[in-house]
Structure formats: C-alpha cells, structure tokens
A = this chain, B = another copy of it.
Amino acid sequence: MRKTLLLAALLTATPLAAQLPPPKPGDFPSPAEIVAKAPKADWHAIDRNDLLVMDLAPDAKGKPRRVVIQLLPPPFSQGWIGNIRKLAAAHWWDGLAVVRVQDNYVTQWGDPDGEDRAKARALPNGLVEVPQSDYVIDPIRELAKLAMKPTATAKEREMWRGYASMCSFDPAKVPKYPCPVTTGSDEHSGLTYSALEYHFGGWPFASNYTEEWPVHCYGMVGVGRDMPPNTGSGAELYTVIGHAPRQLDRNIALVGRIIEGMEHMSSLPRGHGELGFYDLAKGDERVPIVSVRLAAEVADLPAYEYLDTEKASFARYADARANRRDPFYIRPAGGVDVCNVPVPVRRVQ
C-alpha cells in the first residue's frame, strides 16, 4: 500500500495535460501528419551505442537486407544485453541463420545446430546466466536508487522522468493519453491482475504497480530460451511479426526492438516445420546471416531519433491513434492499446 502511494505521488509529478494546447475546431491531423510536423525539439536521439546491425544475405534480386536493432537501456534486461554485446563483438552470429518464421508470431535467428551439442557453435567466454527475476524490474526500487545516486546520468534521469510524467491515476489530468488499465483474473491462483500500459523513454511498457516490464509489441526483440527460465543466453533471438503475443510478457526477456529493416524479417517465407521452424526436408531454406555488429564496427550507419514519448507531439500522436478524426475516419475508436501506438523512429534529418 505504501508502495502504491509513493508511486502515485511520483506519477503525478509532471501532469502531461498541461503541456497540450487544446485542438482548434477542424484541426484534426492524422498521426502521420502530427509526426511529420513535430518540431525537432520533440525528437530524441537514439544512442548509437545501443544499436546492433544485422546484415542478412541479399534477397533473390540481390538487394541488401540490413536490420537495425535498438537495445533496451538500463535497468531493463541488462544481463542478456551484456551477453548480446559480447556475442556481437565476437562476431558470433556471422554465418548463422534465420531458423524460424511462424506466421502471425515470430521470426527467430541463431545457431541452426544449437540443440546439437556435437555441432553447436561454441559460445564466447564471459556470458552470464540471468535469473527469471530480471524479466521485470521493481520501479519503486529503481526510482529510489536513482534518487539516492548523485552520479545518475542525464539518460537515467530522463528515463524515469518519462515514467513519472506519462501516467496519472487521475484520468481528469491526462485526457489525451490515459494509460489504459488492463484487468483480468486467474481463478486457479485466485489472483486478480491489473496492469497499466504506457510508453516512456521511447518504449512500450506495462506495470502492475510493483513490477514493470517491456511488452511484446510488433518488432520487439526477445531472448529465446528452453523450459527453465534462466536458460536464454541471448544467442537465440526473435522478433514479433504479428499481433502482439502479450502472453509472452514476463515469461521471456525482451532486449530491444527493430528500428529499421523490419520488413526483411516480416516478409520472409514461413517455415513448414513444427512451430514454423524451417524444415529443409520440406523444401525450406534458412536465411543466412552475413554478420551482426555493434554500431561501433559499422562505418556507414546513419543516426536515428525517436519521437520523444515525453513531449507534446507524442501525446498528440497517441491521442490521434486512439481517436482518428482525420478525413477518412467517421468514428473515433475512443481508445487504443499500447502496441497500436508504435513509437515513430526515423533517420536524423
């Protein structure tokens, strides 16, 4: 209870509504128009050090297929992300492949021989085992740590400013983009669930007040694992290519998202084996990975920026996604789920 009050106090620190001028009558731009007109100050640079570049083999017409992944910032999933940085630095994925494409679910890549001890490619030294508890964070503990840390970086403070400003428990205070509350119950455990969904720091999250976690929206990247929850190293990764499979939230680690080249993952031929794995005996062909590199090793990588989820343009954009009033639309929906508000990302202009 004390936790909830503390959180509520923090969350009301910067009411977002105050930033939003009311729309003029007839002034109902589309989400794309809002994004196109957002001032430069409402865009936020993506840290180049958080980028990972995967080059697939060229397509049938010889066109390059580059996929750019942005890794989650601290305090999320840092054990797996540390492993992924080591794997990329070791060029571990080079020559491996996309091994699975299951329609309306995931595209997965890694070592096709990963399950075969005799043939599996050896992992680099220094990878850590990460516990299940790291699928989520405790937002109160993290906020408290930050408050006590005089050396907190601007990036860290900013991440939490988002959390504090985006959601308010007083719906009257945030008319434009109330964090939707999802409720449910599990009659077997007797628990009732209630979760907030929102964006902050440029990412989609959900929270049940005592825990917070990134959510499985289209294009998010996660860590494949075996049955025990601590078995995912980060060597086997997947991205969501269909309707958000939210059942995976808190059951598997998310580490980032694809910010460019998503179409190279979503348009691959579907696999004909079990769970959409490519089955060579059924005529499937795996898609070769030429290389995966940290941005530091990629000479020709542009800079990227996202529409700052803590700025007025994003609030307007999210509101327009929830209530389309541009000319094609007749009836605004009155609401939108967090995964239907993809965070706009572009090359720096």
Contacts and interface: CB of A to CB of B under 8 A. Distances in A.
B193 A250 contact: no
Nearest to A250: B331
Interface of A: 23, 60-61, 101, 103-104, 132, 171, 175-176, 178, 180, 182-189, 191-193, 217-219, 227, 229, 241-247, 249-251, 262-263, 266-270, 283, 321-325, 327-337, 339-340, 342
Contacts of A336: 184, 246-247
A324 B187 CA distance: 13
Nearest to A269: B267
A285 B50 CA distance: 35
Contacts of A132: 330
Contact of A227 (B176, B250, B328, B339): B328
Contacts of A327: 227
Residue with the highest number of chain B CB atoms closer than 10 Å, among A61, A227, A245, A340: A340
Given A103-B263, A188-B325, A269-B267, A193 B333 contact: yes
Given A182-B335, A243-B244, A244-B340, 19 more contacts: A103-B263, A103-B266, A175-B185, A175-B187, A178-B185, A183-B334, A183-B335, A184-B334, A186-B334, A192-B334, A193-B334, A217-B243, A227-B327, A242-B242, A242-B243, A247-B333, A251-B329, A251-B331, A266-B270
14 contacts: A103-B262, A104-B262, A171-B185, A175-B185, A242-B266, A243-B339, A245-B340, A247-B329, A247-B333, A251-B328, A263-B269, A266-B266, A267-B270, A337-B337
Contacts of A266: 103-104, 241-242, 266-267, 270
Contact of A323 (B186, B269, B270, B323): B186
- Main DSSP-derived SS at the A contact region: loop
A214 B268 CA distance: 29
Given A218-B243, A266-B104, A335 B184 contact: yes
Nearest to A192: B334
A218 B242 contact: yes
Contact of A334 (B185, B268, B323, B329): B185
Contacts of A180: 184
Contact of A104 (B185, B191, B322, B342): B342
Nearest to A337: B337
Contacts of A321: 247
Contacts of A61: 283
Contacts of A182: 335
Given A193-B335, A243-B218, A243-B243, A330 B251 contact: yes
